[in-house]
Structure 1
Amino acid sequence: MSVRLVITDAMWDRIESLMPADPVRGRRWAHHRRTLEAIAWKYRTCSPWRDLPTELGSFQTAHKRLIRWAVDGTWERIFAAVLSAADADDDVGWTVSVDPTVCRGHQHADGAEKKGGATPVEPDDHALGRSRGGLSTKVHLASDSRARPLALHVTAGQAGDAPEFETVMARIRIPRRGLGRPRTRPETVLADRAYSSRAIRRHLRRRGIRAVIPQPADQVGHRLRRGSAGGRPPSFNPETYKQRNTVERCINHLKQWRGLAMRTDKLALAYQAALHLAAILLWARRRAGMINPWPE
């Protein structure tokens, strides 16, 4: 059979040097490019691991690589290195938009061990929520002004948006090449009414970040009823707020992979690792000069 691949030669040139070296002892790694293609194929098609085409190698190899690099933080390090390269080329838009998206959980995602798992980085609830609508996971993310992800964080589907804001902001950390601290502070943060709270505005003000967040009607009414005691309304620029669509476009790019739009992983760390791989390839493809995020 013919397998459609997503990693072009231009993309691979950008990320090949970021791949881990072969271990000093033991067997050498299977070819990184083929393994990444195998993982991408599984999540693009939302197929079972055992249905992996033979051209992409063993499904056990791809699955073990996904989990192992999730546990030791390799995916996050590669993602940080890709962002660092983009920042060195002045290719990161620092008007950042924050928003979550809910992803339906498949029945195969349920049933993982609740406590005492093999990996300490796995949350007890596996970032899988249960409600009348069924199983779900929420992906909280921040995107730059060109609709590319800067930070990712997964929780159970019923988790609130505002309580996870500081966690998402803390994950924006782009190492600089050469001397200097990692860049962690955007110039402007755009978010919808769900993030309109005193705590969030105070957090951004303390860090010297401009907030462009509209107030919901109930907060406006409460402030007006208090009269002069209600204080001044927070500053809001409707023209700048129009750029918030970048995070929606970023979500659309990620959800073109069906295995991300519908979660089948039992472990949250596997699902988040797949999100990081999609983000890495999205940055690599955009920076290789291509208009569409994924090939047709």
Structure 2
Amino acid sequence: MGRGDLTGAEWARLRPFLPVSNGRCGRWRDHRQVIDGILHRVRTGVQWRDLPERFGPWKTVYERHRLWSADGTWERLLQQVQAEADAVGEIDWDISVDSTVVRAHQHAAGARTDPPPAPASEGAAKAEHQDETPGQSLRGRLVEVVLEKIQVPRLGPGRPREKPDSLAEDKAYSNGPVRDYLRRRGVRHTIPEKTDSQAACLRKGSGGGRPPAFSEERYKKRNTVERAINKLKHARAVATRYDKRGYVFLGTATAAALVIWLRT
């Protein structure tokens, strides 16, 4: 077994949730071998054509990753691992949201321009969900996109969990649309008020309303999202975008997050 390959225990956790047939020509080539090849590329950033021979034909490995990025297989695998963690109380539902910039390699050119992922993290500095939003998009829209995608299934009966206990963000997210959206969702939030907003309230006097509640203690936990981003960028194929298509790059980032959840 090579460095970075799935261990026997990790493989046993993923195997029950993997597709059995490719729907076109019978059974898949050995999933474990192919997944190890995908994870090797995610970790090292090597070109697909330069994958070591022990992972099988490079095109098979690439096509499996491309398909699973498109059909949601990577996301479903991550959700199942998260469901196991949630069932034993290992998910901290006080989450934080932030965005990050990923530089695109020249090999990523030639396809539709797509932005980097924006992770939401839970308290153990593990990415809970990631999504892509345009680099120039409003921060409020980013929050909505990320929170609407959070979905952790139950191992038993019951609806998937979709709402965090609380949310912490920095001043860049301190605006009316973000706060209104979180109130509608019933999500408690800790966002520092911008200086100009505080000054505006003071100028209005009693008619300016009360400043939003703010918990210094809760805000200290916001560093988990920076640590989650740092862990994701340990994977070279996440730190630098080599994938031309946005959905494939998001699959790469999700596969990296899956490894973190399996090994933390």
* Gaps in structure 1 of 5+ consecutive residues: 113-124, 128-136, 287-296
**Higher helix content, 1 or 2:** 2
Q: Contact 1:15–1:284 (CA<8 Å) still a contact in 2?
A: no
**Distance in 2 between the 1:43 and 1:24 partners?**
26
SS in 1 for 2:99: strand
Q: Which residue of 2 aligns with 1:216?
A: 194
Deviation at 1:168, TM superposition (A): 0.4
Match 2:127 to one of 125, 129, 149:
149
Q: Is the aligned partner of 1:274 residue 2:252?
A: yes
**Distance in 1 between the 2:118 and 2:108 partners?**
19
Identity %: 41
Q: Which residue of 2 aligns with 1:122?
A: none
Deviation at 1:111, TM superposition (A): 1.1
Instruction: Identify the range of structure 1 (31-40 vs 252-261) with the bigger mean alpha-carbon deviation.
Output: 31-40
Deviation at 1:49, TM superposition (A): 0.8
Deviation at 1:104, TM superposition (A): 0.4
* Gaps in structure 2 of 5+ consecutive residues: none
Q: Which residue of 2 aligns with 1:36?
A: 35
**Distance in 2 between the 1:198 and 1:95 partners?**
21
Q: Which residue of 2 aligns with 1:13?
A: 12
SS in 1 for 2:118: strand
SS in 2 for 1:153: coil
Q: Contact 2:140–2:177 (CA<8 Å) still a contact in 1?
A: no
User: How many aligned positions are there?
Assistant: 264
Q: Which residue of 2 aligns with 1:117?
A: none
**Distance in 2 between the 1:7 and 1:252 partners?**
22
SS in 1 for 2:214: coil
Q: Is the aligned partner of 1:101 residue 2:79?
A: no
- One-letter code aligned to 2:148: A
**Higher strand content, 1 or 2:** 1
Q: Is the aligned partner of 1:172 residue 2:150?
A: yes
Q: Which residue of 2 aligns with 1:293?
A: none
Please identify runs of 4+ aligned residues in structure 1 that moved more than 6 A.
none
**Distance in 1 between the 2:56 and 2:139 partners?**
40
Per the normalisation by structure 1, the TM-score is 0.84
Q: Contact 1:138–1:159 (CA<8 Å) still a contact in 2?
A: no
Instruction: Identify the range of structure 1 (102-111 vs 13-22) with the bigger mean alpha-carbon deviation.
Output: 13-22
- One-letter code aligned to 1:261: A
Q: Which residue of 2 aligns with 1:198?
A: 176
Q: Give the alignment of 1:29-108 within 5 angstroms.
A: 29-108=28-107
SS in 2 for 1:15: helix
Per the normalisation by structure 2, the TM-score is 0.94
> RMSD in angstroms over aligned alpha carbons?
1.7
**Distance in 2 between the 1:178 and 1:10 partners?**
22
